[in-house]
Chain A
Amino acid sequence: MPVNGILSGVHFMNGDEACAEGAIAAGCRLFAGYPITPQSEIAERMSYRLPQVGGVFIQMEDEIASMAAVLGGAWGGMKAMSATSGPGFSLMMENLGLGMMTETPCVVINIQRGGPSTGLPTLVGQADMMQARWGSHGDYGVIALSPSSPQEAFELTIRAFNLAETYRLPVFVMSDEMVGHMYERVVIDPERIETVERRKPAKPPEKFLLYEPGPDLVPQGMPLFGDGYRVHITGLTHDERGYPVIDAETQNRTVTRLKEKIAHNAAQIISYEERDLDSADIVIITYGIAARTSLGALELARKQGLKVGMLRLTTVWPLPTTKIIELAERIAGFVVPEINLGQVVLEVERVVAGKVPVRCVPHAGGDIHQPEQILHAIEEVLKDAA
């Protein structure tokens, strides 16, 4: 039974539904979206659940409008989100850029399917990871989380809302069709759920600057529509007042901070699960559904006496670079399985910088890896390292 609107107890639900319940638990009260496979269960659940908690579900005319409405709702004071998949994610990119530029807290869930274009509407993919990183034009820092199970979809959606409020930006939950449609046990204890509420402006209107950063490089509080602060927000390059200033110096100051506020707070943002790293010669770096198959590969390898560990990224962006560098100093190599033709692996390679071999285990999408494919890659890396 819901307690204060939050579902509680033990449930059997899929990853999409778990995202919706996580959003409700985090305090999301506006969902603006457009139907697309394989995320529709999120929209459907939100259309049913939001009215129960006094929220609004609005089905927009497309994903461009959905993203715009989410930003408007956020400036109106709501915790707001949208959910989509590949083609819709592409349509959201321009307004995601507006969200980054205006430092608007909100959440976007991408239940990834095979691409490019219409690709594989009903089948799994993880090929939007670089789009999440770089998809809108211009420079900015991003946060992207990736769940491997419905339970984690619930938890990471809450975390996404908390990170959005803390660091003032649209935060991505990069799930996938397989986790989205997988039914598993989801245990919800409302007592243990922590939420972060929107920071109010620290100063009265006459002293307040909309984008004046605190020591954490994040603007100090967000005045909402009607709070009396008479905010002006714009996607144009702006100064601390929020007023457009079209010059190189302001561009440097504003845009560098958008990137740096994530880098500066990376230690608080980064999250991962370690498995058998202490005794590992080879480390699998993976995320989302690919981590489930990787676990099978890890077990097969251990049975053969191969010392394999796993670094499962629950925050993919920013990447835990310090951890990866530390591992690169003492292990024989990395294996990076992902359901794309090599995306996160590019960043791993950059960080490892040739110290040890890094091998991608690509998959074009439509299915998950076989554990044997990953095991084979592990054996190859061991051979290279020997």
Chain B
Amino acid sequence: MPLKAKELPAPEILRAESHPMKRYLRTDRLPHIWCSACGLGTALSCFVYALDEMQLDLDDVGVVSGIGCTGRVAGYVNLDSYHTTHGRAIPFASGLKVAKPKKKVIVFSGDGDLFAIGGNHFIHAARRNIDITVICVNNFTYGMTGGQFGPTTPLGSRGTTAPYGNYENPFNLPYVAASCGAVYVARWTSLHARRLKEAMVEAIAKPGFTFVEIISPCPTNYGRRNRLGEGIDELRYYAEKSVIRHGANPKDADLYPGSEILIGKFVELERPTFLEVYEERVMKKNSGR
């Protein structure tokens, strides 16, 4: 049974001089540009807690972003970080990964960036099984440019370029990722912070093309235009509508206004990575030259 909004536990308030995860952040760049109640802050903190849990050497982790509100993540992490062009984080990350195969490369970007302008790169990187993790913050809109509808906007939802409601069929991101060959696919909402962090840990640890979708509120644009209330109301909505079903067929993860939000770990499988196959099928033929 999903929790009812009023039953949500009150958060424990931590008092500290500075952020406990300070060493992962470029504190000289804070405060960030994100709106209050935006899900991006949660997404970023889950990410730094995941890094902390993994105890990785921070010189071994790189973050690549595209353009948009989520694209700004690269600017706030105290890691080698690359804020690229709109939609092109994945191919940039692919080059970075083949140049430094032992390091972890994580793409952090939004739904419009990764699946509209960058959709072609996503499907081919998944097909190649290039060893990167893609974290997509899906807020169903182009936040940075003012709330236009995008490739994940549910049918009928409003955007500034869909004043009569969106008339295009949206992508079901876990299904896209799974069908293109991703070896790990999970979806959580920004309400499910602990599970989201765990999914990030699993995705980053796993070799191959791994994908985590974060359903996230954009109260300023998507939320406001669709009368979803404040950011907290969107979280209440997630609490009410989310259904955790690990191993569910991602085909069933479609989202409609008012529909249940299917979340969980949908795919976890083994497949050799791009560089493993390259080593086996190409490099070995040239050894001893």
Contacts and interface: CB of A to CB of B under 8 A. Distances in A.
Given A52-B286, A243-B75, A58 B100 contact: no
Contacts of B82: 72, 75, 232-234
Interface size class of B (residues with CB under 8 A): 35 or more
Interface stretch (A214-222, A223-231, A250-258, A349-357): A223-231
Nearest to A54: B283
B91 interface: yes
Contacts of B64: 72
Interface in B86-109: 88, 90-100, 103
B80 interface: yes
Nearest to A232: B81
A232 B78 CA distance: 9
Contact of A77 (B78, B79, B99, B283): B99
Contacts, number: 146
B77 to A, nearest CB: 9
B26 interface: yes
Contacts of B92: 68-69, 71-72
Contacts of A244: 75, 83
Contacts of B91: 32, 60-61, 64-66, 68-69, 72
A56 B74 CA distance: 26
Nearest to B75: A232
Chain A binding surface SS class = mixed
A68 B85 contact: yes
Interface size class of A (residues with CB under 8 A): 35 or more
Contacts of A331: none
B84 A235 contact: yes
B282 interface: yes
A161 B98 CA distance: 19
Given A68-B91, A72-B95, A230 B75 contact: no
B99 A72 contact: yes
Interface in A29-73: 30, 32, 51-52, 54, 56, 58, 60-62, 64-66, 68-73
A230 B99 contact: no
A76 B95 contact: yes
Nearest to A69: B95
A75 to B, nearest CB: 6
A78 interface: yes
B81 A73 contact: no
